[in-house]
């Protein structure tokens, strides 16, 4: 087992940018107003579990349907590219149906698909094509811990950094994510023609 701080930090930053929990604070606050209470522990644990299970089973699922990891990584780079565009340009490409039940609000839409959604699941498999699995797991766990802290303190964070602060953070992470998506695309597209 080779632990790499560089891989852990990179995987953490990529997942952090894709999950965009800081940028989702307004959605979390809105959800909290609608349903009254969100179980931060449950939402964090369920999203972490979904991500780790997909990290292990996602590749087998791909093999079963006949898709290699490099093809999936290229497809994932497109998703990351569009998520980055949403963050930078302030546009919405993904439409949410907006039906949130009181009982399921912690699991759906918060844990899935807001936190462990198509973007983060695709990212995990894309990262697996390049990084050691134990480094990705540590990055997921660190993100889950951070998620929990943000969910618990979302109202305080919003008051502290304000709407402008959240917007700036979203745009900065959008640019980072855009650069990562380009790197992911260029590294994996070569493998498809070998």
The 10s digit of each residue's pLDDT in 49-103 is 999 999 999 889 888 999 887 888 888 888 888 878 888 898 877 555 555 554 4
Does the pLDDT of residue 143 top 60, yes or no? yes
Q: Is residue 176 part of a domain?
A: yes
pLDDT band at 162 (very low <50, low <70, confident <90, very high): confident
127 lies in some domain:
yes
Per the domain annotation, does 125 fall within a domain? yes
Asked, for residue 30, whether it belongs to a domain, the answer is no
- Asked whether residue 179 is domain-assigned, the answer is yes
Residue listed under structure tokens 């800081």: 22
Whether pTM > 0.85 for this model: the answer is no
Residue 154 covered by a domain:
yes
Domain contains 113: yes
Whether 79 contacts 121, CB under 8 Å: no
- d(Cα 109, Cα 106) in Å, to the nearest integer? 7
Helix, strand, coil percentages, rounded to 5, for the chain:
80, 0, 20
Q: Which residue in this structure is represented by tokens 């006949």?
A: 66
Rounded distance between C-alpha atoms, residue 123 and residue 174, angstroms: 15
| pLDDT attached to residue 75 | 84
| Closest of 20, 192, 37 to residue 119, by C-alpha | 20
Residue 130 structural domain? 57-93+101-194
For the chain, the distance separating the N- and C-terminal CA atoms, rounded to the nearest angstrom, is 28
Count of structural domains, the chain: 1
Flag whether 4 is in a domain. no
């Amino acid at each position: 087992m080779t632990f790499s701080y560089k891989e852990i930090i990179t995987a953490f930053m990529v997942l952090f940018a894709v999950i965009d929990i800081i940028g989702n604070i307004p959605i979390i606050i809105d959800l909290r107003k609608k349903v009254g209470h969100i179980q931060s522990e449950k939402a964090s644990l369920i999203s972490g579990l979904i991500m780790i299970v997909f990290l292990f089973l996602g590749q087998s699922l791909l093999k079963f349907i006949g898709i290699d990891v490099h093809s999936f990584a290229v497809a994932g780079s497109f998703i990351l590219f569009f998520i980055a565009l949403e963050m930078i340009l302030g546009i919405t490409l993904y439409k949410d149906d907006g039906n949130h039940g009181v009982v399921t609000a912690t699991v759906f839409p918060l844990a899935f698909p807001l936190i462990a959604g198509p973007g983060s699941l695709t990212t995990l498999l894309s990262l697996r094509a390049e990084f050691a699995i134990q480094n990705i797991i540590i990055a997921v766990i660190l993100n889950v811990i951070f998620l929990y802290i943000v969910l618990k303190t979302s109202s305080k964070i919003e008051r502290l950094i304000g709407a402008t602060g959240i917007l700036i953070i979203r745009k900065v992470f959008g640019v980072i994510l855009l650069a990562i998506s380009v790197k992911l695309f260029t590294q994996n597209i070569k493998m498809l023609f070998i």
